[in-house]
Amino acid sequence: MPRDPRPPIIRLLDHLVTLGLRGNAAREALRTGKVRIDRVPTADAGRMVDPTRVRYDPNTPRMVVGRDAVMLWYDMHLAVVWKPPEMLAVPAPGRHDAENVLRYVGQRLGTALPVHRLDEETSGVMLVARTDAAQEALKALFEAHTIERKYLALVRGSFPAGPPREMRTMMVRDRGDGLRGSGEGWGAKPAITWIGRVESYGRASLVEARLETGRTHQVRIHLAELEHPVLGDPLYADRHTAGAAPRLALHAARLAFQHPFTGEDLHFDAPLADDMEILRRKFAEKAHGRAPGTTGAEAAERSALPPAPPPIAQPERTPRESRQRPGGRQGQGGRRESPSGRPAPERPGPAGKSGSGGRGGGRGGGRGRF
């Protein structure tokens, strides 16, 4: 019988035991950022992993997992950063003391210039320019839609199975209620997102969204208009959905592009942030159950995804969505390095958890039902 070429998928804590880490030693290694999946730190001992993607380095400087940013890669032109949830991407007015990705990069590498942004509550991979020339070149790649961006989101309801569906709308700053959304009129810009189901848990689903354009809140708006708003979204989801997650359940999972100066193909994949992965498992266990005494590997077959959901097949274009309803109230490693690029120096630095700062509507008191 031919041998299965796929690596085994096991619980992270069980894998650490094979590395000689048990009990307090394992917990301390996880808590301080010495265990990483594709260079992204994790403190989630219960997640299922491909051991070949896990690295334990006792000499890695201490950090607070889930609070501190991590430099995944850099060269003289640009840097790629893991942004934790609740960290600003760029400085915000009136929040001068709040840590942000640009400050993090600037303190370690010097100049840091923005080329795109992630919402404060969104976790995942973010790109930063180090020179004016790089900023201009990278912005041109974004405008030409040649940078691959994929997001993972936990959304309300059972998202339809099948090939990814295309959402192609015109997006405006004010759809009529003060929120961004799809509409017509002055300033409307095309917005294109391909969305497919990764797994469904009945009341919620994990979906993958691939951007062709990058309008503000594009993924959140398009999912809400499909009547599958992102859990924890205080802007575009109803109150119960907004309260169904402790934060916006959106994760920038992949960033891939051709280096504008070296021509090197670079790709960075980030596993789900710990808080989203734990929430995903809770939904999966409620939907699929777990028999007493079931091993971690057996449970994974029932209720856990692989350590990183496989990419959804390249979609075939489908007819334009004919019916869209706006959502409720307001409210992305594995990489290929160029010879000049290198992993970042892991020095501890200021990395505070910034607050949510003036978000509108929706969550009320704690988690809600949906």
**Which amino acid belongs to residue 70?**
V
- Whether 174 sits among the annotated catalytic residues: the reply is no
| Under 8 Å between Cβ of 12 and 35 | yes
Q: Is the pLDDT reported for residue 254 higher than 80?
A: yes
What type of residue sits at position 296? Answer: G
Q: Which amino acid is present at 277?
A: E
Q: Closest Cα to residue 205, out of 226, 222, 230? A: 230
**CA 209/CA 193 separation, integer angstroms:** 6
Give tens-digit pLDDT for 153-203: 999 999 999 999 999 999 888 887 888 988 888 889 999 999 999 999 999
Q: Choose the catalytic residue: 119, 238, 269, 274.
A: 119
Q: Cβ-count burial of 153 within 10 angstroms (0-12 exposed, 13-18 middle, 19+ buried)? A: buried
Give yes or no for residue 332 having a pLDDT over 60: no
Question: Given this model, what pLDDT does residue 229 score?
Answer: 97
**114 DSSP β-pair partners:** 128
Indicate the residue type of 96: H
pLDDT bin (cut points 50, 70, 90) of residue 97 is: confident
pLDDT tops 50 at residue 292: no
* pTM (predicted TM-score): 0.78
